[in-house]
């Protein structure tokens, strides 16, 4: 707030996926991006694995990701809180699909440094790429996503793949393992 407009006492932050709350007529709205700056570029030793850190619920398709990972035998690590009504733990086999629990930011970054692919599978349209997308790109992770909302226009072949059905999952993962870390980092820098 102090960097954007010091004389404003309060700054209202909201999620772009939802409607603005009703505001008084004299309210000014400033669009800001939260998060930490993109680190300096570094080549990381990557493993063929998918990573998804999110609030696991029906709209992020974590269960679908877990089922595909088991079917195609691709190591997948899921981290973050799970909604009470979402039976994700039933899909954890600790052979191909692992649940990391809630981790600190530093622990999450260590996983981002090792993984090749970051999953952002959504069942709902989103208006802007989430901050986790930029964070993953910052550490050289290619993005695996669905064609909902803004993601098809944001994701280019140099940084990710959009899958339209389960049949395209395996070939998309194979392609993503070949993506250059620097291209991902550069995309994050464009939006820094």
Give the pLDDT score at 123.
80
Give the pLDDT score at 16.
46
Q: How far apart are CA 86 and CA 88, in angstroms?
A: 6
Is residue 8 within 8 A of residue 27, CB to CB? The reply is: no
In the chain (192 residues long), the average pLDDT of successive 10-residue segments reads 59 49 58 69 95 91 96 96 94 97 93 95 83 92 91 92 92 95 94 72
Give the pLDDT score at 3.
59
Cα first-last separation, the chain: 18
CA distances to 44, 104, 105 from 110, in Å: 10, 10, 9
Tokens of 92: 């954890």
Q: How far apart are CA 119 and CA 51, in angstroms?
A: 6
Neighbours of 44 (CB within 10 A): 14
Give the pLDDT score at 191.
77
Q: How far apart are CA 43 and CA 87, in angstroms?
A: 36
- Whole-model pTM over 0.85: no
Is residue 97 within 8 A of residue 91, CB to CB? The reply is: yes
């Amino acid at each position: 707030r102090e960097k954007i407009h010091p004389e404003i006492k309060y700054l209202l932050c909201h999620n772009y996926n939802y409607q603005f709350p009703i505001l008084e007529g004299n309210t000014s709205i400033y669009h800001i991006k939260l998060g930490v700056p993109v680190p300096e570029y570094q080549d990381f030793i990557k493993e063929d694995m998918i990573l998804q850190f999110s609030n696991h619920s029906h709209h992020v398709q974590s269960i679908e990701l877990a089922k595909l990972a088991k079917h195609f035998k691709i190591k997948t690590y899921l981290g973050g809180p799970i909604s009470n009504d979402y039976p994700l733990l039933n899909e954890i086999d600790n052979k191909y699909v692992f649940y990391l629990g809630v981790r600190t930011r530093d622990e999450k970054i260590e996983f981002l440094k090792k993984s090749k692919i970051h999953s952002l599978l959504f069942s709902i349209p989103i208006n802007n790429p989430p901050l986790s997308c930029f964070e993953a790109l910052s550490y050289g992770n290619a993005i695996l996503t669905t064609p909902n909302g803004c993601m098809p226009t944001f994701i280019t072949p140099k940084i990710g793949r959009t899958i339209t059905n389960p049949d395209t999952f395996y070939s998309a993962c194979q392609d993503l393992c070949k993506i250059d870390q620097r291209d991902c980092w550069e995309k994050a820098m464009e939006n820094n």
